[in-house]
């Protein structure tokens, strides 16, 4: 029997060799924690389909961002859940709207210690649950929505958001918001473009988290799950329009898109490990069917390996503690 000269197992023999030979690393500064804050709450409320994740009150939000700053994770991404909604999402650009108030609250607590990011999309604020405003025929009106996004972006920048997460998948949204920010002097406000955001089943638990009013789906604006090249094209367009960071979302079902986008652009590429990805691992772990800590860290490492420079994940805080303990 012939035997290979080269023995790959040499690099796996001891924990010290494996640590030294590891190609991909995961550190707390690469993790961003999404947070939900609901108007009118006096204390936090659990989200049934996302065990361990809550809708925050302004007080509990203050506490968790202080914890996130102490853990030195990369940042937080804020989502607002308003008490009342309307057709155009008026709460989104109201300085007294929940997301803008929450942003001010967070900035007053942590300042620049965390990169404080805000979701820039209308779906949490509209009574129909779509990411934009509707035309008379019921379709989402792209260009009318851009006007709402620029107003929302300016309100978020005024509230102190360091980075706007444009998650609505309207054509031209990055260019429109960049232009509006620059015209008002917000030249330092960063834009995170959710460039390749796929329409699919993995956002289910999020809809509970934000009390979504959506009936139907988002297939006329989010990408078709079969389309990888189109995801790359969207990322290239967003870079051209001025995106500082581009993102692929969801993460695990789209690792090929992540790798292709990474190869195609020279700005940072992030991934969003979404609510459904979170719920799957939590549910299997709750049954004792999977090792929770192992599965969480392996999923994050896999997303990094595929090309993500940073990851939005509901496990950001807990994973940061595990990663420190492993050092």
Please pick, among 56, 130, 148, 249, the residue that the annotation labels catalytic. Answer: 249
Task: Pick one of 36, 186, 198, 206: the residue that binds ligand PBG (CB under 6 A).
Answer: 206
Instruction: Name every residue whose Cβ is closer than 8 Å to that of residue 5 and which is 6 or more positions away in sequence.
Output: none
Work out how close the CB of 73 gets to ligand PBG at its nearest, in angstroms, rounded to a whole number: 17
Q: What single string gives the DSSP state of each residue in 159-228?
A: HT-SEEEE-S--TTHHHHHHHHHHHTT-TT-EEEEEEEEB-SGGGHHHHHHTT----S--TTTSBPTT-H
Stretch that binds ligand PBG, among 93-101, 116-124, 149-157, 223-231 (CB under 6 A): 116-124
Comparing CB distances to ligand PBG, the nearer of 179 and 212 is: 212
Q: Is 215 a catalytic residue?
A: no
Radius of gyration of the chain (CA): 20
Q: Which is nearer to ligand PBG, 203 or 270 (CB)?
A: 203
Give the x/- contact pattern for ligand PBG in 151-170, rule: CB under 6 A.
----------------x---
Q: Residue 60 and residue 67: Cα distance in Å, rounded?
A: 11
Whether 30 and 311 have beta carbons less than 8 Å apart is answered as yes
Of residues 123, 238, 260, 282, which one binds ligand PBG by CB under 6 A?
Answer: 123
DSSP 12-60: GSSHHHHHHH-S----GGGEEEEEEEETT-SS-EE-TTSTT-EEEPHHH
Closest distance between ligand PBG and the C-beta of residue 11, in Å? 36
Judged by CB under 6 A, does residue 274 bind ligand PBG? yes
Structure tokens at 242: 């001025």
Interface residue with ligand PBG, options 39, 93, 109, 119 (CB under 6 A): 119
Q: Indicate the pairing of strand 115-120 with strand 190-197.
A: unpaired
- Look up 197 and say whether it is catalytic: yes
Task: Write out the binding residues for ligand PBG, residues 210-249 only, by CB under 6 A.
Answer: 218
Please give the positions annotated as active site.
Answer: 197, 249
Residues lying near ligand PBG in the complex (CB under 6 A): 119, 121, 123, 167, 203, 206, 218, 274-275
């Amino acid at each position: 029997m012939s035997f290979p000269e080269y023995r790959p197992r040499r690099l796996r023999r001891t924990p010290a060799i494996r640590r030294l030979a590891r190609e991909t690393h995961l550190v707390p500064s690469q993790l961003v924690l999404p947070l939900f804050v609901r108007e009118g709450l006096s204390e936090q409320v659990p989200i049934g389909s996302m065990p361990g994740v809550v809708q925050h009150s302004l007080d509990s939000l203050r506490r968790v961002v202080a914890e996130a700053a102490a853990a030195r994770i990369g940042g937080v991404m804020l989502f607002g859940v308003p008490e009342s909604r309307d057709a155009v999402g008026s709460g989104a650009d109201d300085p007294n709207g929940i997301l803008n108030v929450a942003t001010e609250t967070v900035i007053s607590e942590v300042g620049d210690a965390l990169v404080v990011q805000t979701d820039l999309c209308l779906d949490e604020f509209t009574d129909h649950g779509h990411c934009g405003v509707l035309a008379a025929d019921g379709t989402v009106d792209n260009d009318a929505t851009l006007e709402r996004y620029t107003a929302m972006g300016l309100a978020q920048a005024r509230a102190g958001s360091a980075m706007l997460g444009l998650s609505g998948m309207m054509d031209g949204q990055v260019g429109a918001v960049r232009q509006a920010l620059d015209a008002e002097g917000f030249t330092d406000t960063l834009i995170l473009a959710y460039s390749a955001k796929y329409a699919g089943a993995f956002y289910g638990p999020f809809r509970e988290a934000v009390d979504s009013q959506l009936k139907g789906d988002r297939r006329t604006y989010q990408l078709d799950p079969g389309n990888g090249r189109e995801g790359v094209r969207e990322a290239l367009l967003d870079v051209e329009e001025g995106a500082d960071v581009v993102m692929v979302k969801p993460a695990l079902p789209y690792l090929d898109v992540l790798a292709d986008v990474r190869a195609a652009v020279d700005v940072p590429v992030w991934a969003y490990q979404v609510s459904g990805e979170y719920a799957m691992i939590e549910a299997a772990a709750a049954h004792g069917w999977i090792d929770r800590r192992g599965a969480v860290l392996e999923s994050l490492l896999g997303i990094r390996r595929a090309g993500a420079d940073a990851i939005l994940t509901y496990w950001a805080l807990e994973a940061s503690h595990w990663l420190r303990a492993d050092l």
